A and B are shown apart, each in its own frame.
Chain A
Amino acid sequence: MTAWQLSVFAENRPGRLEAITGVLARAGVNIRAIKISDLGEHGVVKLLVNDPDAALQALTAAGILASKRPVLAVAVEDKPGGLHAVLTVLTRRGINVEDAYGFARDRRAILVIEVPDLAAAAEPLRSAGLQPLAEEELYRL
């Protein structure tokens, strides 16, 4: 149920993002989605990749500060209201979404969400028929 996102600490200056993508390219890691959370002089680059362990290893070996962070990835139909359905479920349970991003693939929209308590969010989604993707399923996309 849990998917792993790579979070990379990066200073906000030219070349930092390129250094990250360069390491991943050389390691043969494919990036599914990317999101940058900017904090001013520095930020966190969030990456969904096909092989998080290989990516983490390559980044760490290159001296880049990175860690794996559990997130929920939910697949919905790629049509108006798809995302809204997911958020409605979470809002009803009073669950705060700390960050979210998404991408579309094969007529499906994949929504990646960061919440404080993954299990507490996964359970109502599942009951609403919105099954979070299994790890392997997500990386295989």
Chain B
Amino acid sequence: MNRPRHPVYWDPEIETLPRERLRALQEQRLRRTLAAAARSPIYRRLFEEAGVAVEAIRGLEDLGRLPLTTKDHLRQGYPFGFLAVSCEETVRLHSSSGTTGRATVVLHSARDLEAWAERMARCMYMTGARSSDVFQNMTGYGMFTGGLGFHYGSERLGMLTVPAGPGNSRRQVQFMQDFGTTVIHAIPSYAFRLLAVLEEMGIDPRRDLDLKTAYLGAEPYSEETRRRVERELGVRVFNSYGLSEMAGPGVAFECPEQNGMHIWEDAFLVEVLDPKTLTPVAEGEEGELVLTTLDREAMPLIRYRTRDLTALLPGPCPCGRTHRRIDRIKGRSDDMFIVKGVNVFPIQVETLLMGMPEVGRDYRIVLDREGDLDVMTVEVEVRREMFQGDVKSLKALREKILAALKSEILFTPRVQLVEPGSLPRTEGKAVRVLDRRRGS
């Protein structure tokens, strides 16, 4: 770690590579990736079924001829069907929980892990993290890729790395005080949990801790949530995007502009497709993110449907990086639910709620069926400091939330104010939607 670093860019050449040279690099890597993929049993079959000879794919304009890969294909290939190298060359396996179907695995070679760590270091360096920083990683280690991804990236960057893992919040705070933690990584719902614990302990993070940067990711969250965490924790929050199929975090990350996440196009080929027609949408328009790995040995994935909805932001970024930016993830196409014929994303509700100062840190959407009718109830925590003890302001708050929701989702939900801390919390990802309509 003694070579002199560029003051702004971790990898100045790649990060600022002119677009036309970036494209040439992508095409060269795409050809290499396709040749490797064709060695795996699953892709051999998929390419054959699609009638594509991979040698015929020369450039990005041919991309549409390649078949798409879905989660279901990954399940079919469980566990080694996607391997493009021999088993002996793999050094790591990550498996998804399989809560919504059969489990899937992603396999890595030593070089794959190396490239992942480099990408993560690039992400964090971009936000101003330096080797003098102390990094406390508050996400799960193990099969959850967020923990190990950030861990190796942080060590690569040279930060003092504290592998705290999630939970045990009082001890987390103790670590922060004892080690002078400056940078943290957590899922958004855990950041809120941490704020509640700091409050209980009578610690003002802005005054009593050295924190300056927080990375939040793995769950979609709104801009309002970001601003709130920034304000209350006294840090700058950077949005992180990744998925285990693409190794984990480090696919796209925010730069200091905090306006969209640079998706690392030397490692991933980006498409945004209309989820119904599967044709590309125009730049700036929302669609499903589809990614092709460009730099992966063990398990290349071709045109993988992430199910995540976003848009490519038009125009160059003032930070000087040439890699395009994707918008904050609006949600997974699977997150959307339909009530009274209206499509609703949890993030729409969150954006409204977190923009209201009277609202606490937690909320939950409960869907019920009463007779033939769908009923949506939004349970909202009241913010402690805002409670003045009178009935009128509670009524007014409920009316305000109702009116805001109604104008956003175009039907009238029920709004229920609840006590702070009363909504069920989990150590893992927050459960924002409880659908009780099935089986009724």
Tell me, in angstroms, the Cα distance from A66 to B385 when the chains sit together: 10
Query: Does B179 sit within 8 A of A, measured CB to CB?
Result: no
Which 5 pairs of residues, A with B, have the shortest CB-CB distance? A7-B389, A69-B389, A67-B389, A41-B416, A37-B391
Q: Is the interface of A mostly helix, strand, loop or mixed?
A: strand
- CB under 8 Å from chain B, chain A span 1-48: 5-11, 37, 39, 41-44, 46
Interface residues of B (CB under 8 A from A): 382, 384, 387-392, 394-395, 398, 416-422
Assess whether A64 is interfacial by the CB under 8 Å rule.
yes
A sample of 15 inter-chain contacts (CB < 8 A) reads A6-B389, A7-B388, A8-B389, A11-B419, A11-B422, A37-B391, A41-B417, A43-B391, A64-B419, A65-B387, A65-B419, A65-B420, A67-B388, A69-B390, A98-B390
Residues of A within 8 A of B416 (CB): 41-42
Residues on the B chain within 8 Å of A6, using CB: 389
A42 & B390 in contact (Cβ 8 Å cutoff) = no
CB proximity of B79 to chain A, nearest CB, Å: 45
B290 smallest CB distance to A (angstroms): 43
Prevailing SS type, chain B contact patch: mixed
Q: A: which residues have CB within 8 A of B?
A: 5-11, 37, 39, 41-44, 46, 63-69, 98-99, 114
Residues of A within 8 A of B387 (CB): 7, 9, 65-67
A10–B417 alpha-carbon span in the complex (Å): 9
| Distance (whole angstroms) from the CB of B388 to the closest CB of chain A | 6
Do B419 and A9 touch across chains, with their CB atoms under 8 A apart?
Answer: yes
Chain B residues whose CB sits within 8 angstroms of the CB of A66 once the complex forms: 387, 389
Tell whether, in the assembled complex, residue A42 and residue B389 are in contact, meaning their CB atoms are under 8 Å apart.
no
How far is A98 from B390 in the complex, measured between Cα atoms in Å? 9
Not counting A8-B389, A42-B417, A65-B384, a sample of 8 additional A-B residue pairs whose C-beta atoms are within 8 angstroms of each other reads: A7-B390, A9-B419, A42-B418, A43-B391, A44-B394, A67-B387, A69-B390, A98-B392
Chain A residues contacting B419 (CB-CB under 8 Å) are: 9-11, 64-65
The listed residue with most A CB atoms (<10 A of its CB), out of B390, B394, B418, is B390
